[in-house]
Amino acid sequence: MSRPETKHDGLIVPPPATPSRSVSIFGATGSVGTSTLDLIRLNPSAYRIVALTANSDAEGLARLAREFSAEVAVIGDPARHDALVAALEGSGTRAWSGPQALLDAADLDADWTMAAIVGCAGLAPIMRSLLRGRSVALANKEALVSSGALMIEAARSSGATLLPVDSEHNAIFQCLAGASYDHVESITLTASGGPFRTWTHDQMRAARPDQAVAHPNWSMGAKISVDSATMFNKGLELIEAHHLFPVGLDAIRILVHPQSVIHSMVEYRDRSTLAQLGSPDMKIPIASALAWPQRIPTQCLPLDLATIGQLTFEPLDDVRFPGPGICRAAIAAGGGAPAILNAANEIAVAAFLAGEIGFLDIATIVSLVLAGYSPAEPQCLQDVLAIDSEARACATAAIRTRN
C-alpha cells in the first residue's frame, strides 16, 4: 500500500535521501567489513570507496578492491606487500602495507569510516580518523575499551562523529535519539548468553574452540565469538557503553535474553522504557550507522514476532561467567586496568583458539594479569599502546607458566 500524499506539518517524514558518501573500511575482509560491503553492493553508485584494509589476506583484499574500485588497499602485514601488489596489477588501486600505511589510509579524505579491525591493533587508525574529525562507525570495541576517555576526547576535540555499530550500542543510540542523559534512569545491555548459557561448569571446562565459536544466534569472527562464549564480550560492551553513554556505571545493567531480538533498552526517569528490536543480523546496525541520520533499505529478514512466539529473560550467572564482573571491576578501578584487561583477554582467547589453554583458563589468565600491576591512567595513545604491549607480555608469560 502506498503512503498518503497529504502533507502534515510535524508529522511528515521526509523521504530518505539517497546517501552519497566516500567510505573507508578498516577490516574489510572480516565479518563486519564484508557485511558493510554487502550493504554497499545494494546501491554501489551511492558510495565511493577510498580505502579498504585487511591484515594478511592480500588476495581477498585485492578482489574487494577491484570490485569496488577502491583508491587504496592496505595490508597490515608488510610480508604480504608483494602479494598485494601482484594481485592488484592493472587495477588502478594503490597497494600500501604496514602499520604506518593504516595511519596514512586514515588520513585520506573519507566521509565515513568503518572501524572493523579486531582488537587493539585497530586503535591507532581510529584515533587518527577521529583526530581528523571524520565520522567513524565503531565496531572495534577493544579499541574503545583500551583507550577509553582518550578516544571520546579525541572525537570531542575534533568534532568527529562516533557512531556505535555494536548491536547493543547501536540499539541504545537509537533509543536515546539525542535525549538528555539527565532523563535517563538506566541502560540495559541484553546478552544472548552465548553457546554455553545452559552448560555446567564441568562441561565448560572441557569446551573446545569449535564449540565456543558456534554462536546460537550471530555469525561473527572467531575472537568475538569466544568472547561471547565467556561473556567477556558483554563485559567489554559494559565498558564500551560506559564511555559512549555517560549515565554512570551503576546505571548500566546486563540482562540475558536468549532470543537476541531486543538488542538493548533505555529506561527513562518517568519509567518509560524504549527498546530496539530486530533480527539478529549485524547488517541492521551497520545500515543504521552507514545511513545515519537517514535510513536505507536492507535485505535483512523482517522481525516475525508471531513465529518467534516468546521473548524470555534471565539474570546473568556470574559464577559460571565471571567475565562481566571482572570488566566492571576494571572500569571501576580505572587507570590502565581496562587496557590491561583487554590485552590479556586478546592473548588468552588466541591461546584458547590455538589449543594451548582450556576455556575456563581465559578468565583465570585475565584475572592474574590484572592483579599483577596497576599502571597510571594513560595520558596519550602511546601510553595505551605501551600498557597494551606490557600486558600482552605478562599474559603470554602467565600462559607459559601455567603450561
Q: Which residues bind ligand NAD (CB under 6 A)?
A: 27-33, 54-55, 76, 116-118, 121, 139-142, 166, 218, 220-221, 223-224, 282
- CB under 5 to 8 A by kind: which of Mg ion, ligand NAD, none does 31 bind? ligand NAD
Segments in 334-380 forming alpha helices (H): 337-353, 361-372
* Residue 168 C-beta: closest distance to Mg ion, Å: 5
Q: Look up residue 310 and give its three cell numbers.
A: 516468546
From the list 367, 375, 271, 285, the residue with the least C-alpha distance to 326 is 367
Give the C-alpha separation, 233 to 241, whole Å: 12
**Residue with Cβ nearer ligand NAD (267 or 387):** 387
Classified as helix, coil or strand, 387 is helix
From the list 381, 396, 397, 399, the residue with the least C-alpha distance to 148 is 381
* Residue 106 C-beta: closest distance to ligand NAD, Å: 12
- CB under 5 to 8 A by kind: which of ligand NAD, Mg ion, none does 71 bind? none
C-beta of residue 81 within 8 angstroms of C-beta of residue 95: yes
Residues 167-196 as x/- pattern, contact with Mg ion by CB under 5 A = xx----------------------------
From the list 32, 40, 30, the residue with the least C-alpha distance to 110 is 40
37 CB-near residues (< 8 Å, 6+ apart): 25, 28, 64, 68
* Residue 191 C-beta: closest distance to Mg ion, Å: 8
**Residue with Cβ nearer ligand NAD (213 or 267):** 213
* Residue 166 C-beta: closest distance to Mg ion, Å: 4
Among 57, 71, 166, 227, binds Mg ion (CB under 5 A): 166
Give the C-alpha separation, 185 to 259, whole Å: 25
- CB under 5 to 8 A by kind: which of ligand NAD, Mg ion, none does 260 bind? none
* Residue 134 C-beta: closest distance to ligand NAD, Å: 18
CA distances from 62 to 23, 39, 110, 208 (A): 17, 19, 20, 34
The piece of 142-150, 159-167, 334-342, 390-398 that touches Mg ion (CB under 5 A) is 159-167
* Residue 284 C-beta: closest distance to ligand NAD, Å: 11
**Where does this chain bind Mg ion (CB under 5 A)?**
166-168
